[in-house]
Amino acid sequence: MRNALELVGGLVVTTDNSGGIGMKEADAVHAPDDLVGYFTARVTLLEQWAAGAEPVAVILHNFAGDASWDDYLSGIRRVFSESALGMPPISGSSETNMEMLQSAMAVTMVGRRCREVAQSGGSWFLYGRPLVGQDVIREPEKCAELGKVKRALDGELIDAVWPAGSGGIGAEWLRLTGRPLARWPAGVDPAASAGPATAVFVRAVPGKEAEASDHFRDYFDEIE
């Protein structure tokens, strides 16, 4: 598992947060709250898949004020819609006693383990490109699509998922395999932040590498 916390009974807890990104004047990156909710939930869901789990409950932590709640919720729902998953029960809390100068929020998911993640298998591929900040908004076509990842898992084209984060694909690969990344797509800086998991490592089921490549198509490159 990447950052998941495994509990008794096959329960898996994952979380991600966002700070200084939103519609407040002091935010470092200005973006609609629904987009912030979407990308934060996106990372949290990918962490569930990396652990072989599917979410059964969602908790929203909102520090941006009551006005942001519905938009954050809209973004979270979009994540489940794109993944063709039913929306689990959702609860949470908003900070309304103190007004924050910058936006801040987090999404936590409680999931249940539904598949075993094999320790070894076929070839690893990088799907998507590392993006952060305004580049996420300007170049959405380079972001790994949740729906394609989920369909590949369900169709048994891939058997493992590993999202990349702010440390870049080089750091994620070292963490995943214990060795430096020796080959990466042309034009990609392995140290560049992948922000809200815009790039994802996926492992093809042995013998299905060509099918996986045809399924993902754009921004899909073999790593080993």
Task: Kindly tell me if the per-residue pLDDT of 134 is higher than 90.
Answer: no
Segment 122-150 mean pLDDT: 93
Q: What percent of the chain has pLDDT over 70?
A: 99
Task: Kindly tell me if the per-residue pLDDT of 6 is higher than 70.
Answer: yes
Digit-coded pLDDT (tens) for 25-35: 999 999 999 99
Task: Kindly tell me if the per-residue pLDDT of 112 is higher than 90.
Answer: yes
What is each CA distance from 153 to 28, 52, 135, 137, in whole angstroms? 36, 10, 28, 27
Task: Kindly tell me if the per-residue pLDDT of 118 is higher than 80.
Answer: no
Which pLDDT score is estimated for 204?
95
Segment 164-184 mean pLDDT: 93
Digit-coded pLDDT (tens) for 25-68: 999 999 999 999 999 999 999 999 999 999 999 999 999 999 99
Task: Kindly tell me if the per-residue pLDDT of 119 is higher than 80.
Answer: no
Segment 115-136 mean pLDDT: 88
| Strands 104-113 and 11-19, bridge-based pairing | antiparallel
Question: What's the 3-state SS for the chain?
Answer: CCCCEECHHHEEEEEEEEECEECCCCCCEECCHHHHHHHHHHHHHHHHHHCCEEEEEEEEEECCCHHHHHHHHHHHHHHHHHCCCCCCCEEEEECCCCCCCCCEEEEEEEEEECCCCCCCCCCEEEECCCCCCHHHHHCHHHCCCHHHHHHHHHCCCEEEEEECCCCHHHHHHHHHHCCCCCCCCCCCCCCCCCCCCCCEEEEECCCCHHHHHHHHCCCEEECC
- The ranges assigned to domains in the chain are 5-113, 124-222
**CATH number for region 5-113:** 3.30.1330.10
Q: How far apart are CA 18 and CA 60, in angstroms?
A: 12
Q: What is the pTM of this model?
A: 0.94
CB 162 within 8 A of CB 187: no
Binning pLDDT at 50, 70 and 90, where does residue 1 land?
Answer: low
Binning pLDDT at 50, 70 and 90, where does residue 180 land?
Answer: very high
